[in-house]
Structure 1
Amino acid sequence: MSIPPPPGPQHPQGSPEQPQGPYTQGQYPPPSPYPYGVPGAPGLPTAQGPYANHPYGPYSPYGPHSPFGSQAAVNGVAISALVLGILCFLPAVGLVLGLIALAQIKKKGERGKGMAIAGSVLSGVGLALWTLALTTGAASDFWDGFKGAASGEGTAYALAKGDCFDSATGNLEGEAYDVDEVPCSGSHDGEVFAVVTLPGGAFPGDDEVTRIADDKCYTLSDDYAMDTWALPDDADVYYFIPSRQSWRFGDREITCLFGSTEENGKLTGSLRSDATTLDADQIAFLSATNAVDMALYEEPEDLPEDDLAANQAWAKDVHAALGEQIAALRGHTWSKTAARPVTELVAEMEAARKEWALAAKTGDPDVFYAHYDEAYAYVDGPTTVTARKALGLDTTLPTYEDDSNDSGSGGGSVSAVSELCEWMCDRGYSGEKAPA
């Protein structure tokens, strides 16, 4: 049985005739029908099978070139039209580019007709939506909302000093995404008393931001609510701080505020008592007494018997603070009503100052306690109440929580807002430093 010859051009038996003569510059000899050598030549394998004598082998029926031409290029304008159509950012431009692309494709025979049509359709839909938004005012509402979000309007960091607000969650703990500003005259969740701006740079971390807020807000609270006696018993200091996420969007503000410690508690009326609400006599009195309170607040945590040196240094600081504030009270010109009560209070402050001086010098903890008790005799006592009444300030004695584990005399520290005194202890009051 004979084997039919393979398809393709047939070659006569024997070696093909080779062209003779030199080749001109730039001219190449025609390809050899035996690109891998003449079959049977020494040193080369001999082809076997029905395609052994085919000049291009069994896998190249069309010779060394493909029978198909190269693909046409994709129209670049069509690509641009499709991108703008998907983004819907410039719909009019996308529509025009799509039409231009269709004309170029038809003229040049390029590819991309589907992309041009899709870009034109999407851009047309986008243009219709933009037209509808502009005619109905929806675009204006969107832009107003965008500007509000960018500026922080309706968020915790949009609040300013003196603003009162309600929290969307009804409390001041956890994440704060939105607040509603309300009049301070009515009930509200919080009242802002200070806004602290942090420096730029990398986010310092939650712990560091909290530490800064704790330090700054408690210090600034007395500047806003100078008459600390007027604060409600359930009022305490809270703050909103930037999160790692809000920091990325430029949030650098710590918002210090007063809020209620009661569950679902509310504040009513403004707690502000500063230069905007007080007269000159009230400011002079509160500035002096608050400065002394701050010095007393620095009392060491260790008891005198555990660290007498630290308590002596503190007593020395209180002695110095009393000296400065006594001079300030004496240097102020008081109204006729307030002059005598303030003078009597200054006399008690002088007596207390001498006790602090003795406490700072003693080397005996028991003696320290004795001078300590005598020095506190004037704080929040009857003379202070009388002076406050003459000045038109609040005369309601602050209450104190007793966190003491030891009821012994003199061993505890006292409230940072208005110090505990012996006069109050005689009437059932006792306590330690109020938790910050």
Structure 2
Amino acid sequence: MSIPPPPGPQQPQGPYQPTPPYPRQASHGQPYQPWTQGYSPYNRPAPVNGLAIASLVFGVLCCLPGVGLVLGPLALRQIRRRGERGTGLAVGGTVLSAIGLVLWGLMLASGGASAFWEGVKEGARDGASISLAKGECFDAPGGRLAGETRDVDVVPCSGRHDGEVFAAFRLRDGDYPGDESVGDTADARCYVLRDDYAMDGWAVPDDVDVYYLTPTEESWSAGKREVTCLFGSVTEGADLTGSLRNDETVLDADQVAYLKAAHLLDAALATAPDSAHVEDDLPGHTAWAGRMSAALDRQARVLRGRTWPAGARGPVRSLAAAADRARAEWTKAARAKDADAFHAHYDAGLGLLDPKAAVPARTALGLAATPPTAERGEGGGSPRTPDAPDAPGVAATEV
């Protein structure tokens, strides 16, 4: 007794019937053709024609409707010949391509295509952020560095230009901090970074000041975070000529060492208290005097600790001695008990910081030897005099 196998997906249930061998030919004398459709784990659906897919894609995009119109009929012929799928895709691509071709014809006839591409280019310009590298010079629209701008033209620094980039830094991510906060941060950081690019402040013309490119709320939402610091003229209509760069890439080792010593004092001068009147903040002013005294002490030690070229040794020693005398007055100002005592020693100490005393040393070292007409520190920074109003700030250029 034989036990029939269990029924399978291709096997009817019921009593086992042996399957006769397949004949070599069907009853009509034609070669036997196996099924191409039906339920079977070994069946594979017919592939989708590639040209039909391409025709639909080009028809949807509308940018190249002629391509879709050619690919659609080709796909239909291949589908009939190969038994592939995709008739609906080919027909849909052909119809959409035909519609797109008609629309393009209407746009060309009416000038709409030209207006469309102008709009695309304008949108691309508006969405792009200004990207300037350190050391690059540029012209701004209308020659204005104040206000809002979306584009600049990079030009050689050797010729006339509106601005020169000396530094850049990135703001922290997060919500837009506001125009005032962004401007304050740019102002503080750029004025510090300028000394790394233009180490000799005496070589910077008096009408040149610091500007900056900052993100707006709109560009912030598009990912703009960079602040670009730059030099520009404060005189309306005036240009810059030549690069203002003077750093380690331009100066020799002795010049760099001298200017770094000068910057010690400039950094202390920049820490003057916000209150202009000594009576309103005597502790703040005496603390500032203490920082000035410490900076003068470090400056004198740096000037004495280096072997200078023969022609500069005498002038540099004289500057170190003047720094010692000024330090004594600033030290007394730091110990003042009232505003009158502070003013007495402050005036004496500031008088000993006469920029003209640095001219012999600068001449011997080959640095700029003409003191700025504006009141500045030895390295070019501006000391703020107590009881004097603050200088106006420079407007930022936003991008």
Q: Provide the TM-score with structure 1 as the length reference.
A: 0.63
| Paired residue secondary structure (2:227) | strand
**CA 1:151–1:389: 2 relative to 1, 3 Å:** farther
Whether 2:254 is the aligned partner of 1:254: answer no
Q: Does 1:121 align with 2:98?
A: yes
Aligned to 1:396: 370
**Residue 364 of structure 1: which of 311, 332, 338 is its match?**
338
Q: Percent identity?
A: 46
Helix, strand or coil for the counterpart of 1:257? strand
Q: Is 1:273 matched up with 2:246?
A: yes
| 1:176 maps to which of 149, 161, 179 | 149
> How far did 1:305 drift?
2.3
Match of 2:161 in 1: 188
In the TM superposition, residue 330 of structure 1 has moved relative to its aligned partner by 1.8
Q: Is the 8 A contact 2:72 2:91 kept in 1?
A: no
> Which residue identity lines up with residue 339 of structure 2 in the other structure?
P
2:199 paired residue number:
226
CA distance in 1, matches of 2:197, 2:377: 22
Greater RCO (Cα-Cα under 8 Å, separation 6 or more): 2
The secondary structure found in structure 1 opposite 2:371 is coil
- Structure 1 counterpart of 2:360, from 379, 386, 393: 386
Unaligned runs of 5+ in 2: 1-50, 80-86, 106-120, 394-399
- 8 Å Cα contact 2:269/2:383 also seen in 1: no
Distance 2:306 2:126 in 1: 48
State the Cα distance separating 1:114 from its structure 2 match.
9.0
TM-aligned CA deviation for residue 227 of structure 1: 0.9
Letter of the 2:312 partner, please give it.
A
Q: Deviations over 1:214-271 (max 9, x none)?
A: 1111110111111111111110100111223333443222110000111111111111
Report the equivalent of 1:52: none
Gap change, CA 1:398 and 1:99, over 3 Å in 2: same
Q: In structure 2, do the counterparts of structure 1 residues 364 and 202 end up closer, same or farther at CA, with 3 Å as the change threshold?
A: closer
Structure 2 vs 1, CA of residues 308 and 111 (structure 1 numbering), >3 Å: closer, same or farther?
Answer: closer
SS across alignment from 1:156: coil
Is 1:374–2:376 an aligned residue pair?
A: no
Q: Which residue of 1 aligns with 2:309?
A: 335
Alignment counterpart, residue 322 of structure 2, candidates 348, 353, 356: 348
Residues 381 and 79 from structure 1, CA distance in 2 versus in 1: closer, same or farther, beyond 3 angstroms?
closer
Secondary structure of the equivalent of 1:119?
helix
1:6-405 alignment runs, 5 A limit = 84-88=58-62, 91=65, 92=67, 96-97=71-72, 117-122=94-99, 156-157=130-131, 159-300=132-273, 301-400=275-374
Equivalent position amino acid for 1:185 in 2: S
Q: 1:116 to 1:376 in 2, by over 3 A?
A: closer
Deviation of 1:124 after TM superposition, in Å, equals 6.4
| CA–CA separation in structure 1 for the residues paired with 2:310 and 2:103 | 77
**Where does residue 396 of structure 2 map in the other structure?**
none
1:344, CA displacement in angstroms?
0.4
SS at match of 1:169: helix
With over 3 angstroms needed to count, the CA separation of the structure-2 counterparts of 1:434 and 1:329, relative to structure 1, is: farther
**CA deviation profile, 1:55-87 (whole Å, cap 9, x unmatched):** xxxxxxxxxxxxxxxxxxxxxx99996774242
CA distance, structure 2, for counterparts of residue 307 and residue 255 of structure 1: 35
**Which digits, 9 at most, give the CA deviation of each residue in 1:289-309, with x for residues without a partner?**
122012112222232222211
Query: What is the aligned residue count?
Result: 320
Give the drift of 1:341.
0.3
Name the aligned partner's letter for residue 231 of structure 1: V
Distance (Å, rounded) in 2 between the aligned partners of 1:119 and 1:395: 76
Give secondary structure in 2 for the equivalent of 1:305: helix
In the TM superposition, what whole-angstrom CA distance separates every residue of 1:183-221 from its partner, at most 9, and x where no partner exists?
A: 111111000000112344443333332222111111101
Q: Distance in 2 between matches of 1:112 and 1:367?
A: 93
Deviation at 1:151, TM superposition (A): 11
When residues 116 and 254 of structure 1 are mapped into structure 2, their CA distance, relative to the original with a 3 A threshold, is closer
Q: 1:415 to 1:397 in 2, by over 3 A?
A: closer
CA RMSD of aligned residues (A): 4.1
CA–CA separation in structure 2 for the residues paired with 1:298 and 1:168? 36
Moved more, 159-168 or 293-302: 293-302
- Structure 1 contact 380–419 (Cα < 8 Å) conserved: no
Partner of 1:410: none
Instruction: Check conservation: 2:137, 2:164, Cα contact below 8 A.
Output: yes
Deviations 1:123-171 (A, max 9, x none): 668999xxxxxxxxxxxxxxxx99x97996xx632x1111111112321
Bigger radius of gyration? 1
The 1:419–1:387 alpha-carbon spacing in structure 2 relative to 1, beyond 3 Å, is: farther
> Deviation per CA, 1:305-341, whole angstroms, max 9, x where unpaired?
2221111111111111112222222222211111110
In structure 1, C-alpha distance between the alignment counterparts of 2:384 and 2:269, rounded to whole Å:
12
TM-score (norm 2): 0.68
Q: Give the Cα separation in 1 of the matches to 2:202 and 2:381.
A: 8
Partners in 2 of 1:210 and 1:200 — Cα distance?
16
Q: CA deviation at 1:277?
A: 1.1
1:421 Cα deviation from its structure 2 partner: 11
Query: Displacement, 1:432?
Result: 6.1
